[in-house]
Structure 1
Amino acid sequence: CSPEGLHSEAVVLRCEWAACSYAAAAMEEFCGHVAQHLRHHLPGERRDEVDPLEEYTCLWQECGFCSPESPADLVRHVYFHCYHTKLKQWGLRALRAQPDVSRCQLDFQSRNIIPEIQENFLCLWEYCERSFDNPEWFYRHVEDHSFCSEYKAAGKENHVVLCGWKDCDCSFKGRCKLREHLRSHTQEKVVACPTCGGMFANNTKFFDHIRRQTALDQQRFQCSHCSKRFATERLLRDHMRNHVNHYKCPLCDMTCPLPSSLRNHIRFRHSEERPFKCDYCDYSCKNLIDLRKHLDTHSKEPAYRCEFEACSFTARSLCSIKLHYRKVHEGDSEPRYKCHVCDKCFTRGNNLTVHLRKKHQFKWPSGHPRFRYKEHEDGYMRLQLVRYESVELTEQLLKDREKRGEALDGSPDCVVLSEGEGNLRGIVLEAPAEPSPAENRAGERQAAPQHAAACSAAGPERRINSSVPGQPASGVCFGPVPARRSAL
């Protein structure tokens, strides 16, 4: 049950505090050593004493973290370095055990950049609520809860073990499964990349992180929907699931592939709440990214500089620099957006959107606030004419619109592909062995009709069915109906 079978193996934990070269074989010894660095580094007799004029800087190599708030922030941060060091050692061992997996090609100098830890790690197991500043002790503490979890009878012979985390009623057939489940509550990672420092929930995701860096000419598996390429068939399958919408907004006809996408849609389209507020003026917004963009306007120094040579323009906001590019340098860029109806080209997607709506009378699909564009083999971005929805969701949409007396997206020519036809497909770019003449004749007799969700039949490409098990995808095609066109 240990993460990826690595708990039992010895590791070499090297301290990277300033010029220290200390090494330990156990986390208890390693954390105790790092605690000595903290005692010498932090001012005052107590770690939680606060000097309003003091800044607390991390001396871990290639880190650069600085906390103006409290020494407790630095303590928590440095202990995470200890935990991160262990995960990187597990990543190194995982790579040694898989000689067919190459090394990460990303920047080695980012290996010690760790996430910002804003508060202590709090255990939310029932009646516990213990707090930890060291993630290693926190995760071990939560694991101890899994050993003490009560069994509950389920029938005459079967028993299940219960998750005691706050607001969770999950149950499992064994404690090993419970421990894996608890990581979804604690966000515990079990391995990190020794090169770039990225952390992962399992070895499979770690190896995928490396395989995605494969040279383009070796990425043989291509998505038929967006043309992205992947090194393995499984990566392609995982990717194509993101094209299938399974969740519908309760307030409109918007459909999304993920619950998080649906939450973001509701927040931005149907909620007036603006929880992110500027400390310098009355501005408020719905997300942190917009707030950071706004804060640039309060900076004394310009945050943005024009990237074109011989241009010295600077701006305090992203909006201003984009406006500058549009007014001054738009002619310097090659037009990448092409109308699929009349082949007129544009440098920006917004201009193509205006063209499609005014010139060709296209309309946005119900519930969707914009058009989406897909890069084709010739390098041009063209309108995405198909969206994929699970069969269950398509049936729900049809029933909802029948009750309202509407056709799907208002288009009588809209086609809902059948369950057998509608699965997303991928292609293998390298041609397989030439089939025999008999196989060719049999294939010609059994060839299925082309449809929007399938790849082009030209060439000997092997197709990969990638629908989610139990949830086949249904492609929704929007046909060329004058004044009623819809697209996505």
Structure 2
Amino acid sequence: MADSGMTGRGVKRSVNVLLQCEWGSCTYVATKMEEFCAHVSDHLGARHLGPADEAMDCEDEFCCLWQDCGFFSLESQLELFRHVYFHCYHTKLKHLGLQALQSQPDLIPCQLDTQSRNMIPELQESFLCMWDQCESSFDNAEWYYRHVDSHGLSAEYEVAGKENRVLMCGWKDCDCSCKSRCKLREHLRSHTQEKVVSCPNCGGMFSNNTKFYDHLRRQTSLDQHRFQCTHCSKRFATERLLRDHMRNHVNHYKCPLCDMTCPLPSTLRTHIRFRHSDERPYKCQQCDYSCKNLVDLRKHLDTHSKLPAYCCEYEDCSFSARSLCSVKAHYRKVHEGDSAPRYKCHVCEKCFTRGNNLTVHLRKKHHFKWPSGHPRFRYKEHDDGFLRLQLVRYESVELTEQLMKEREKQGVPLEDAPTCLVLSQGPGPGSDGVDYERTAGEKDYRLLSE
């Protein structure tokens, strides 16, 4: 049964919050999620009857009037309801983020642009509980997370061995067991993707306070970033941040349709959507343009606007553009003097101002090619400030073994296998050489091209 979002279900979470409605010019403030969601549902019921200054030219689309959002649904009113109720949930997380920040006086508040503070992720069709024999569905994320949490609170202990008792996760296709109810409730968030705190400035959501604090520490001045990644040269404020970052350099997942390998399931899904699918479900209502995600559609809609969306903040500068990246590029080039060539060929030392120019140079002059399944070259910043071709990638032990087994099944000798794991130079001696080097203390192999 679908929950409309009007009333809460499951266990109530008593949290002292101030919830500010940002629908149009509304200034309503609530202290309880039940009251806040009920208030917002009134906006949804009267969204076509609001003041003229809150109207939007949406015609057949369902528009969200939340400040700094700009979302509109191309499909249904239910999609809009799910989206707006997520604003309610996001508002609570931002207040919790403000409280967390106030409890850490040594942390500097977020310095990022506030334009994304009310931009929320694309949502699934409905929030579906996959607990055994449940399958309740919800349109309000808050009630969904409360409902799933109630399963964790009511789960019964089962005997495991002579004296051990554990709580089994009842989620579909999950055989995880936890020793405490707290751990089970925390584990359930991995199924629901529930976040517990959000940055009050930029809107970013995090699964715990530690990750939120890391988000703030990453913005400290570079002279405080003493820990450097040996792979991409990025610097971090703490050793743990560096370790978390380096995990993203290890590929664990292989595309079932090509030789592309990815570090995360999300990057693999994105790869499949953009490289192996022709579906373009997001269509512009003003022209024939269509695309594969909502972000690209929003960028395209800016091209129909007669007014620039972003302006340069430098004093006495009148530059403006429709995209934020154009304004940032202008600022670096004009006001910071960042027009010197930064891309350098590692073979002949020739320099280029743009990465794609170096790519053309490497392919035509030196006959380089990228690994099978990978769509482009990647460049790494070195200590001298130049960006050079990245020649090293990391694959997990499990993935490396999987790739080798697939080659064996195809009857391809390992010494003759195509170089899908490392960059290779064009036809010539040594173009297929791969050297495997186990890195100390890590469950991955370091892949080096000859």
Do the structures match in fold with TM over 0.5?
Answer: yes
2:138 corresponds, among 113, 128, 132, to 132
Q: Which residue of 203, 208, 212 corresponds with 1:206?
A: 212
* Residue of structure 1 aligned with 2:150, choices 144, 155, 165: 144
Aligned to 2:9: none
Q: Which residue of 2 aligns with 1:478?
A: 449
Give identity over the alignment, percent.
67
Alignment correspondent of 2:435: 415
Alignment equivalent of 1:173, drawn from 179, 183, 186: 179
Residues 24-423 of structure 1 aligned to structure 2 (within 5 Å): 24=31, 26-35=32-41, 60-63=66-69, 72=78, 75-108=81-114, 110-115=116-121, 117=123, 119-249=125-255, 253-265=259-271, 271=276, 274=279, 276=281, 334-394=340-400, 397=403, 404-407=412-415, 409=419, 411=431, 414-417=434-437, 419=438, 422-423=439-440
Q: Alpha-carbon deviation of 1:191? A: 0.9
> Hey, what's the Cα distance between the residues in 2 that align with 1:156 and 1:72?
50
1:20 paired with 2:3, answer no
Partner of 1:485: none
Contact 2:260/2:373 (<8 A) preserved: yes
Cα offset, 1:207, TM superposition = 0.9
Cα 1:258/1:138, change in 2 over 3 Å: closer
Instruction: Name the CA shift for 1:182/1:395 in 2 (closer, same or farther; >3 Å).
Output: closer
- Which residue in 1 is equivalent to 2:7? none
Aligned equivalents of 1:243 and 1:42: distance in 2?
A: 49
Deviations 1:118-161 (A, max 9, x none): 74433333443433333222222222222333544433333333
Residue pair 1:371, 1:384 contacting (<8 A) in 2 also: yes
Distance 1:388 1:60, change over 3 A: closer
The alpha-carbon deviation at position 230 of structure 1 amounts to 1.4
Deviation at 1:30? Answer: 3.6
Offset of residue 226 of structure 1:
1.0
Q: Offset of 1:349 from its aligned partner?
A: 3.1
Q: How many angstroms apart in 1 are the aligned matches of 2:256 and 2:29?
A: 57
Which range moved further: 333-342 or 57-66? 57-66
Q: Report deviation, 1:240.
A: 1.1
CA drift of 1:215 comes to 1.9
Q: CA deviation at 1:106?
A: 2.5
Contact 2:100–2:209 (8 Å) recurs in 1: yes
Aligned to 2:315: none
Tell me if the contact between 2:118 and 2:203 (Cα under 8 Å) persists in the aligned partners.
Answer: yes
Secondary structure in structure 1 of the residue aligned to 2:394: strand
- CA contact 2:69–2:119 (8 Å) conserved in 1: yes
Higher relative contact order (CA 8 A, sep 6+): 1
| 1:398 CA displacement | 5.5
Task: Tell me which amino acid in the other structure corresponds to 2:27.
Answer: C
2:368 & 2:143 partners in 1: Cα distance?
58
- Alpha-carbon distance in 2 for matches of 1:79, 1:264: 26
1:413-439 deviation digits (Å, cap 9, x = unpaired):
54222x3xx25xxxxxxxxxxxxxxxx
Query: In the TM superposition, what is the alpha-carbon distance from 1:369 to its structure 2 partner?
Result: 4.3
User: Bigger shift: 34-43 or 362-371?
Assistant: 34-43
* 1:379–1:132 Cα change, 3 Å: same
Deviates more, 1:59-68 or 1:335-344: 59-68
- Bigger CA radius of gyration: 1
Deviations 1:355-414 (A, max 9, x none): 334433434345544432212233322122222233454455556657522426365754
Question: 2-side partners of 1:62 and 1:292: how far apart?
Answer: 13
Aligned to 2:112, the other structure's residue is in SS state coil
> Counterparts of 2:37 and 2:237 in 1: how far apart (Å)?
39
**Do the aligned residues in 2 keep the contact of 1:162 with 1:172 (CA within 8 Å)?**
yes
How far 1:287 sits from its partner (Å)? Answer: 6.2
1:208 to partner: Cα distance: 1.3
| Alignment deviations for residues 457-482 of structure 1 (CA, whole Å, 9 cap, x no partner) | xxxxxxxx7x3xxx1x3222212xxx
The DSSP-based 3-state class of the residue aligned with 2:167 is strand
Q: What is the distance in 2 between the residues matched to 1:226 and 1:382?
A: 10
CA contact (8 A) 2:169 2:176 kept: yes
Letter in 2 for 1:348: R
Displacement after TM superposition at 1:239 (Å) = 0.9
Query: Letter of the aligned partner of 1:20 in structure 2?
Result: T
Contact 1:278 1:295 survives alignment (8 Å): no
Contact 1:124 1:165 in 2 (8 A): yes
- The answer to whether the 8 A contact 1:42-1:71 is kept is no
Query: Displacement of 1:348 after TM fit?
Result: 3.5
Amino acid in the other structure paired with 1:213:
Q
Give the direction of change, closer, same or farther, for the CA distance of 1:137–1:156 in structure 2 (3 Å limit): same
Alpha-carbon RMSD across the aligned residues, in angstroms, is 4.5
Change (3 A) 1:231 1:150: same
Q: 1:454-465, aligned counterparts within 5 Å?
A: none
Contact 2:282–2:294, Cα closer than 8 Å, also in 1 = no
Name the CA shift for 1:351/1:62 in 2 (closer, same or farther; >3 Å): closer
Aligned residue in 2 for 1:432: none
Cα distance in 1 between the residues matched to 2:289 and 2:68: 36
Provide the aligned length of Structure 1 versus Structure 2: 399
Contact 1:276 1:288 in 2 (8 A): no
Distance 1:304 1:363, change over 3 A: farther
Contact 1:388–1:475 (8 Å) recurs in 2:
yes
SS, match of residue 142 in structure 1: helix
